[in-house]
Amino acid sequence: MEEPLAETPLRPAVLALEDGRVFNGRAAGACTRRGGEVVFNTSLTGYQEVFSDPSYSGQIVCLTYPHIGNVGTNPDDQESQRPYIEALIVREFSPLASNWRSTETAQHYLEGHRIPVIWDLDTRALVRHIRRVGALRGLVSTDGMPAKQLIEEARAIPSMSGLELASRVSCAKPYRWEKGSILTSLPWNETAAEKGARRFRVVAYDFGIKQNILRLLVDSHCDVQIVPARTPAEDVLAMKPNGVFLSNGPGDPEPVAYGVESIRKLLGRVPIFGICLGHQLCGLALGGRTYKLKFGHHGSNHPVKNMRTGRVEITAQNHGFAVDPDSLSASEVEITHVNLNDYTNEGMQHRSLPLFSVQYHPEASPGPHDSHYLFRRFTEMMNEHGSTKRVSSAR
């Protein structure tokens, strides 16, 4: 017989927002206080992947799915070496884990990384408030700090606009990645043709890269070398890559001037594929502008229309900024994808140079998998570019 669920001891917690709104709840995780921009995520599964996505650096995440923690955590679902959220807000937080893959409870996992949790509050009211007024700076306290002081501290937190966070979460030195996804790594799932497929040398810029991106690049027959965000383009070209990947990452894209400069130097020299922050940096490198969204796109159920095929993809997203399509030259850049919720730019391609990018996460860990084809498109572009270079050299 299963033991009854253990009752979590009552500890008070407070969420204080910069506009003076206060939410009271119960505490879990670490006994501390952490601040950041408060955003909400509408995913139904994959809370550990959300915790460990470096794009959430500087943000407090409210999960709209009401019951969190029930499947625990495990090493295979990590998207980076540690969780990056500043704090967690949920309706119900399970003290126990019940899943055959679980190696640690969510409580122990977050407590060990000094991340506070506030739960047993009205997350629907919080989300409605954010949707109405926009993303707000806030502070979660599980250490007994009075609400009035928390509001003042929340107002002192730096705004996400103008904040350069990519270099803070990037790797310190280059490294290789060789691990594919679990299913495709099994020997009986690889055909003889796949075993003999051409290998593409890909250099991936780490602006806050998720590990499932690297797994899917390996699945797509890429030898992947990851480099820090500030790596000069000259150093990347010296590695003689078949393609360059620009990763996701946190913060405002405009202060990442070093990334924009590198992309401009790489344009036309090598195929480029960017996602999320990488997409925004491509927009800036092509002469466009970015702007902050009211409350951003965070979740795994966002409809995006592929303007070339007319098909609608359900996508995973996590960003607070977008590229202004009107700021791009229509003669040079084609808009390939559009968000059907607010019609923001979700993808683009250069009309003559080998570069394309999307705002959403095609690796989508966990799902949906509608956009996995983009990794194949990247390898096809590298193949075509290599053929073009060989023909040009023969002439």
**Within 13 Å, how many C-alpha atoms sit on residue 196's CB side?**
2
Does position 173 have pLDDT exceeding 50, yes or no?
A: yes
Secondary structure class of 224 (helix, strand, coil) = strand
Q: What is the pLDDT of residue 366?
A: 79
**Which superfamily does CATH assign the domain made up of 166-386 to?**
Class I glutamine amidotransferase (GATase) domain (3.40.50.880)
Residue 215 CA to residue 222 CA, distance in Å, equals 10
Given 319, 350, 363, 385, the catalytic residue: 363
Given 129, 221, 361, 385, the catalytic residue: 361
Q: What is the largest CA-CA distance in the chain?
A: 77
Q: What is the pLDDT of residue 387?
A: 62
Residues 135-144, mean pLDDT to the nearest whole number: 96
Does domain 12-155 bear CATH number 3.50.30.20? yes
Q: What is the pLDDT of residue 367?
A: 77
Residues 78-98, mean pLDDT to the nearest whole number: 96
Q: What is the pLDDT of residue 122?
A: 97
Residue 57 CA to residue 132 CA, distance in Å, equals 23
Q: What is the pLDDT of residue 6?
A: 47
Q: What is the pLDDT of residue 3?
A: 43
Q: Which of 332, 219, 183, 337 shows the shortest CA–CA distance to 274? A: 337
Intervals of CATH 3.50.30.20 along the chain? 12-155
Whole-angstrom CA distances from 184 to 54, 201, 220, 326, 363 are 25, 19, 10, 41, 14
Residues 200-212, mean pLDDT to the nearest whole number: 97
Residue 137 CA to residue 130 CA, distance in Å, equals 11
Told to judge if 361 belongs to the known catalytic residues of this protein, a careful annotator would answer yes
Return the percentage of the chain with pLDDT > 90, whole number: 88
Return the percentage of the chain with pLDDT > 70, whole number: 91
Full DSSP string of 78-104: -SSSS---SEEE-SEE-SS---TT-SB
User: How much is the pTM?
Assistant: 0.93
Under the banding of pLDDT at 50, 70 and 90, the label for residue 222 is very high
Secondary structure class of 128 (helix, strand, coil) = helix
Residues 232-248, mean pLDDT to the nearest whole number: 98
By the 8 A CB rule, do 254 and 227 touch? no
Does position 236 have pLDDT exceeding 90, yes or no?
A: yes
Residues 217-236, mean pLDDT to the nearest whole number: 97
Does position 262 have pLDDT exceeding 80, yes or no?
A: yes
Chain-wide mean pLDDT for the chain? 92
Q: Which of 251, 319, 323 shows the shortest CA–CA distance to 280? A: 323
Q: What is the pLDDT of residue 375?
A: 97
By the 8 A CB rule, do 246 and 274 touch? yes
Intervals of CATH 3.40.50.880 along the chain? 166-386
Helix (H) or strand (E) holding 349: strand 345-350
Told to judge if 31 belongs to the known catalytic residues of this protein, a careful annotator would answer no
Given 79, 86, 222, 276, the catalytic residue: 276
Residue 171 CA to residue 229 CA, distance in Å, equals 8
By the 8 A CB rule, do 356 and 348 touch? yes
Amino acid residing at 157: I
By the 8 A CB rule, do 149 and 211 touch? no
Told to judge if 372 belongs to the known catalytic residues of this protein, a careful annotator would answer no
Among 181-195, 305-319, 351-365, the range scoring the smallest mean pLDDT is: 181-195
Does position 393 have pLDDT exceeding 50, yes or no?
A: no
Q: Which of 393, 340, 312, 363 shows the shortest CA–CA distance to 49? A: 363
* pLDDT (tens digit per residue) in 1-58: 334 444 556 899 999 999 999 999 999 999 999 999 999 999 999 999 999 999 999 9
Q: Which of 38, 30, 13, 57 shows the shortest CA–CA distance to 138? A: 38
